[in-house]
Amino acid sequence: MKKESICVYGGYTPKNGEPNVAPLNISTTYAYDTPEQMAHLFDVPKDGHIYSRISNPTICVLEEKVAQLEGGIAAMACSSGMAATTLAVMTVASAGDNIISFSTIYGGTFNLLKTTLPKFGIETRFITPDTSDADIEKLIDSKTKLFFAETLANPAMVAFDFDRYSALCKKHGILLVIDNTIGTPVLVRPFEFGANVVIHSSTKYLDGHATCVGGLIVDGGNFDFRNNPRYADFVTPDESYHGVIYVDEGGNAAYILKARMQFMRDIGACMSPFNAFLTNLGTETLALRMERHSSNALEVVKALIKHPKIEWVKYCGLPDDDNYSIANKYFSGGFSGMVSVGIKGGRSAAADFIRYLKRIRQLTHIADIRSCVLHPASTTHRQLSKEGLISCGISENLVRISIGIEAVEDILEDINQALEKITIKE
Ligand SMILES: *Cc1c(COP(=O)(O)O)cnc(C)c1O
């Protein structure tokens, strides 16, 4: 099936007489007739459900659909995007290990990697898009367990150069983990370009309607854990799980099996079946929405780039944008809905722009059907100095606009009337 059809049908095929829509199974537990049947599931969990922290039929529908959309072999839903990232790292890294990550990533992920994981002995070595391959290689040692990046990092709007970094990861046998939240599998499929694990904050485009916080980890099934000394705990028995050897038990899906049976089991950051139901409903229209988010965003930036009160526009779908050539290599069918603009007149003009918008609301959110705006310098990044902002790729006059699926004329009308009202203080 093509991606548009996977959005509609993926993960669920009713049997004779069953509901046509994937049902909401809001049950913690599953009944079995004999102790032998239950015992079998403890040995082979994929043959059925035991307890909804580990798996649930409604959650499975979403997991299966997102795995299909990404072209991976299996997925695990989590309570949030942050939980997905945390579990994705823990599955391969423990105290004494390190990971490599871009610093131009989602602020919450940056905090996790910079401040929280080090408290558990996992160190992050940060790089920027300017770090040379030779300098990255100097950061890699035998304890380096993964390389982390986002397909399209906002609000700096940096597109990930898959060919360059996946070659580096392959050369050293390091797992490449990509957060594809902003890209979405409708526009870019990281496994086709060398990623091994994909992460989503399903809170964003997958849900799309701003109803549920959630996340997913997708296993590409394309990484050889068996013959790689970096990942010894994939080939040695896990005593906490009756001596299972993950590469033997899971085969190509060893990573997601370990994520579920070690870390979802012990940490318990599972998605609720109700959220999985709503998120799955959202994914049914994902392909359609991404088409509209992308075309609306392109029209908005084309209009704003000529506007006298706009200093600059960042959108990787604009042919003269710094990130266009890289993004254009990997994206197809659009460049998503995230736009960053610099308002002439600095910090106060940017704040005024947000003040004067009438319909477009100010939210700490993105990737919603409703357009929304945020001024990072006075909200999400307000603790940072001028220099700190620059190192995150954020200027004081930057306004992040998440373009929704409304009529583009209405979006532009609101933006234009707000820009009109700004008086630039000399
Ligand atoms: C929002 C977001 C996250 C975190 O996800 P939550 O669902 O809010 O926990 C991670 N990565 C990116 C790119 C995001 O936009």
pLDDT tens sequence across 232-284: 999 999 999 989 999 999 999 999 999 999 999 999 999 999 999 999 999 99
> pLDDT confidence of 367, banded at 50, 70, 90?
very high
The C-alpha atoms of residue 231 and residue 174 are separated, in whole angstroms, by 9
Q: Is the pLDDT of residue 132 over 90?
A: yes
Rounded to the nearest angstrom, the distance between the alpha carbon of 265 and the centre of ligand 1 is: 22
Q: Is the pLDDT of residue 169 over 90?
A: yes
- Average of per-residue pLDDT across 154-166: 92
Task: Please confirm whether the linkage preceding 376 is cis (ω < 30° from 0).
Answer: no
Residue 361 is classified by DSSP as: E
The C-alpha atoms of residue 168 and residue 172 are separated, in whole angstroms, by 7
- CATH number of the domain where residue 85 is located: 3.40.640.10
Is residue 120 within 8 A of residue 114, CB to CB? The reply is no
Same domain flag for 268 and 363: no
Residue 279 Cβ inside 6 Å of ligand 1? The answer reads no
Q: Is the pLDDT of residue 312 over 60?
A: yes
Residue 183 Cβ inside 6 Å of ligand 1? The answer reads no
Protein residue closest via CA to atom 2 of ligand 1: 201
- Domain range for 210: 3-282
> pLDDT confidence of 426, banded at 50, 70, 90?
low
Residue 364: what pLDDT? 86
| pLDDT, the chain, mean | 95
Rounded to the nearest angstrom, the distance between the alpha carbon of 371 and the centre of ligand 1 is: 17
> pLDDT confidence of 379, banded at 50, 70, 90?
confident
The C-alpha atoms of residue 414 and residue 343 are separated, in whole angstroms, by 15
Residue 382: what pLDDT? 82
Residue 104 Cβ inside 6 Å of ligand 1? The answer reads no
Same domain flag for 367 and 255: no
- CATH number of the domain where residue 317 is located: 3.90.1150.10
Same domain flag for 206 and 83: yes
Neighbours of 255 (CB within 10 A): 30
* Burial of residue 332, with CB atoms counted within 10 A of its CB: 0-12 exposed, 13-18 middle, 19 or more buried: exposed
Same domain flag for 261 and 215: yes
Q: What is the pLDDT of residues 178-204, one digit of tens each?
A: 999 999 999 999 999 999 999 999 999
Same domain flag for 7 and 67: yes
Q: What is the pLDDT of residues 382-424, one digit of tens each?
A: 877 888 787 777 889 999 999 999 999 999 999 999 999 998 7
Same domain flag for 172 and 319: no
User: H-helix or E-strand containing 277?
Assistant: helix 273-283
Percentage of the chain surpassing pLDDT 90?
Answer: 89
Residue 387: what pLDDT? 81
Question: Tokens at residue 413, please?
Answer: 């009308």
Q: Which of 181, 211, 270, 400 to mutate to test the pocket of ligand 1 (most atoms within 8 A of CB)?
A: 181
- Average of per-residue pLDDT across 134-138: 98
Residue 382: inside a domain:
yes
Same domain flag for 227 and 331: no
Which residue from 145, 171, 139 is spatially nearest to 88, judged by alpha carbons? Answer: 145
Residue 320: inside a domain:
yes
- Domain's final residue, options 256, 282, 308: 282
Quote the Cα angle for 306-308-310, to 5°: 80
The C-alpha atoms of residue 202 and residue 217 are separated, in whole angstroms, by 10
Dihedral sign computed on CA atoms, order 48, 50, 54, 56: positive
Residue 82 Cβ inside 6 Å of ligand 1? The answer reads yes
Q: What is the pLDDT of residues 3-32, one digit of tens each?
A: 999 999 999 999 999 999 999 999 999 999
Residue 380: what pLDDT? 81
Domain count, the chain: 2
Q: 78: helix, coil or strand?
A: strand
Q: Which atom of ligand 1 is nearest to the CA of 215?
A: 7
Question: Tokens at residue 303, please?
Answer: 């209009």
Residue 328: what pLDDT? 97
Q: Which atom of ligand 1 is nearest to the CA of 85?
A: 10
Residue 123: inside a domain:
yes
- Domain's final residue, options 264, 282, 300: 282
Residue 426: inside a domain:
no
Same domain flag for 117 and 262: yes
Where is pLDDT greater, at 364 or 236?
236
